[in-house]
């Protein structure tokens, strides 16, 4: 755990990083967050993360300017103060101590960034693949929070806790129409007959940064990739299934509850994409002096 926290433009010791009990994030979950990967004290795809947060802020809270968020130098300083090179970095932005209303003045933000070491999952997860379960809950298109990474995360954690109780790494959500949506903390891809598919953004699903990277990597490698509706049968009958997020990168799924996927081991496409993803992170976060 990092010993220094970025809080509202200042670097403070972890134990002194406090917010008001009247903060909207604490009282109502009125906040957004980004979980990012750092290498060589550089954030991978930082601009994409911040742009996603600002888009969500404009829809759910109020417009947030780039100048109100930590700069590239701020993140590098945070990593340096914690003596971290590779790290998991979390940026949290809440509505501050007063929720925005039609007749209220615009509140000040609470902006917090933390950095912790060892951003990776256990190496055996990537080597051997993981199991997932089907969430009993449904992802509803009319939910105003759908497709946004908010601090109102309890339903996801409930589903994830149930998955962990079954020795599964992730809980997979479907829509009321029984179309694949996403994981509690990940986007989902399936591969059948050499073509990779993932649910379209209007399913709705989170526009994952890692999701976009994997689509980019597929196109670079001439792997056919589609954004299209995916059914439960598409999932269970897939040759390969894999999850993506900024920490997982590309995580192969070998079993959905009791059903083995493919040969019950990480597949070739997921393995190739993981290698390519790691190489891209290393290249974009390289220390070029």
Q: Clarify whether residues 160 and 89 are in a common domain.
A: no
Q: Among residues 116, 138, 165, which one ends one of the domains?
A: 116
| Confidence class for position 106, pLDDT limits 50, 70, 90 | low
- Judge residue 46's burial from the number of C-beta atoms within 10 Å of its C-beta, 0-12 exposed, 13-18 middle, 19 or more buried: buried
* Residues 133 and 110 occupy one common structural domain: no
* pTM, entire model: 0.95
The mean pLDDT value for 47-52 works out to 98
Picking from 99, 116, 133, the residue at the C-terminal end of a domain is: 116
Pairwise CA distance, residues 100 & 30, whole Å? 10
Alpha-carbon separation of residue 172 from 33, 66, 137, 251, 256 (angstroms): 21, 33, 9, 14, 9
Helix/strand/coil for 223: coil
Query: How confident is residue 118, by pLDDT bands cut at 50, 70 and 90?
Result: confident
Q: What is the CATH number of the domain that holds 274?
A: 3.20.10.10
Mean pLDDT of 37-44: 96
Give the domain range for residue 154.
123-283
Q: Is position 77 within any domain?
A: yes
116, 148, 176: which is the final residue of a domain? 116
- Same domain, yes or no, for 275 and 234? yes
Residue 114's DSSP bridge partners are 90
**What is the rounded CA–CA span in Å between residue 172 and residue 198?**
13
- pLDDT, tens digit (0-9, with 9 covering 90-100), for 212-271: 999 999 999 999 999 999 999 999 999 999 999 999 999 999 999 999 999 999 999 999
């Amino acid at each position: 755990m990092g010993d220094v926290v970025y809080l509202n433009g200042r670097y403070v010791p972890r134990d002194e990083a406090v917010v008001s009990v009247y903060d909207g994030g604490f009282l109502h979950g009125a906040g957004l967050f980004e979980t990012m990967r750092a290498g060589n004290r550089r954030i991978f795809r930082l601009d994409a993360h911040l742009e996603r947060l600002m888009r969500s802020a404009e829809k759910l809270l109020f417009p947030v300017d780039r100048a109100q968020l930590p700069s590239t130098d701020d993140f590098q300083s945070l990593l340096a103060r914690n003596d971290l090179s590779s790290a998991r970095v979390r940026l949290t932005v809440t509505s501050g101590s007063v929720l925005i209303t039609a007749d209220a003045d615009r509140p000040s933000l609470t902006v917090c960034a933390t950095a912790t070491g060892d951003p990776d999952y256990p190496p055996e997860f990537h080597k051997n693949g993981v199991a997932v379960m089907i969430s009993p809950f449904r992802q509803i298109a009319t939910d105003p929070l759908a497709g946004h990474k908010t601090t109102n995360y309890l339903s996801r954690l409930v589903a994830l806790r149930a998955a962990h109780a079954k020795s599964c790494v992730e809980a997979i959500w479907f829509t009321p129409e029984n179309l694949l949506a996403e994981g509690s903390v990940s986007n989902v891809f399936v591969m059948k007959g050499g073509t990779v598919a993932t649910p379209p953004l209007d399913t709705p699903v989170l526009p994952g940064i890692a999701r976009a990277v994997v689509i980019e990597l597929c196109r670079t490698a001439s792997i056919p990739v589609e954004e299209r509706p995916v059914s439960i049968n598409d999932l269970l009958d897939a040759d390969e299934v894999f999850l993506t997020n900024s920490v997982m990168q590309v995580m192969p799924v070998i079993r959905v509850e009791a059903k083995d996927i493919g040969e019950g081991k990480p597949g070739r496409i997921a393995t190739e994409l993981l290698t390519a993803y790691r190489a891209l992170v290393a290249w974009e976060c390289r220390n070029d002096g």
